[in-house]
Amino acid sequence: MVQRIIVGFDGSPAAAVALKWAAAEAQLHEAELVAWTVKERPESEGPHQRSAVARDAGGYPVTVRHGHGDAATALIAACAPADLLVVGSHRRGALTGLILGSVSRRCVKHALCPVVVVHPQSRPSRSTGRVVVGVDMSGHSRTALHVAAEEARRRGGQLDVVHAVYWENSGYELIVPTAEQLVEWGRRLVDTELAKAGVAGNPVVVHGHAADVLVRASADADLLVLGRRGRGMLSEPRLGSVSAQCLHHAQCPVMITRPVGAAEQAPPRARSSTGG
């Protein structure tokens, strides 16, 4: 259960959208909401900052904390495993940012808790309560499945459990399965996975590449949940990585869950001060 939601806030339109999403999520979980503003140098808090945070939180109680130094370092260091970290990102350049080491990419890679990336264009025009989770029958996707089930329960919405199937034909196979056969096999795997996890969800097995399938499934969803593979998943993001493509192209906010038992070292804590 999420105990605290931390959101990065720099006054930009993207940060405002992220804060609004984080406030709604905090209300769903009855969690504490903390907005972090991080400057390169120590600065006194301006009244406009406090009013902007209060406005974008929509009346939900929010604690404002101020730090200086590197934004990603401050946000990562502020998080505990039971928290949820929310960061805003512009759609344009999001993938480039992931490759070059943006705040969003570093938070996804290093935070000790799940991370949600929200960009203004990713928010649905109306809430459906629908949650989509990508599964591949691995341990990290099993963690994502449980998290997604809880998110769907709190929203009172449908949980779509999505699995993509695709056969890479090398040209040497004597027998190549049809798309229909692959979908049927995939459906059996998903049904077995749901039974093992004790989760009720709507199995969605689609023939195609995983990133394309998940991006299409994110349409009209409130949230897309994916599992993080641990150290290697985003340490060297490639243009074709599923998570990177979903973070860039998904039509709803994307949550990357942390693998259970992962032991990654967060950067040193940043200096901070607290306001109400």
100 in the same domain as 9: yes
Give me the residue label for tokens 């406005």.
55
| Residue 240 banded pLDDT, cuts 50, 70, 90 | very low
Neighbours of 35 (CB within 10 A): 28
The most confident of the ranges 8-17, 29-38, 226-235 is: 29-38
pLDDT at 184: 97
Answer whether residue 275 is part of any domain: no
117 in the same domain as 10: yes
Tens digit of pLDDT for each residue in 187-211? 999 999 999 999 999 999 999 999 9
Q: Burial level of 169, CB count in 10 A (0-12/13-18/19+)?
A: exposed
Looking at residue 103, which CATH number applies to its domain? 3.40.50.12370
Answer whether residue 273 is part of any domain: no
Tens digit of pLDDT for each residue in 118-164? 987 766 557 889 999 999 999 999 999 999 999 999 999 999 999 99
Mean pLDDT of all residues in the chain?
84
136 in the same domain as 18: no
129's tokens: 């309560």
Alpha carbon 248 to its chain centroid, in Å, reads 11
Neighbours of 273 (CB within 10 A): 12
| Helix locations, the chain, DSSP H | 13-29, 47-56, 71-78, 94-100, 103-110, 139-155, 179-197, 210-217, 242-249
Instruction: Decide: 188 and 212 in contact? Cβ < 8 Å.
Output: no
Q: Which of 95, 123, 151 is the last residue of a domain?
A: 123
pLDDT at 199: 96
91 in the same domain as 51: yes
Question: What's the domain range around 253?
Answer: 131-257
142 in the same domain as 57: no
The closest alpha carbon to 10, from 161, 43, 216, 217, belongs to: 43
99 in the same domain as 200: no
Answer whether residue 222 is part of any domain: yes
Please report how many Cα atoms fall inside a 13 Å half-sphere around the Cα of residue 36, on the Cβ side: 27
Q: Which of 123, 153, 183 is the last residue of a domain?
A: 123
Number of domains in the chain: 2
pLDDT of residue 233 exceeding 70: no
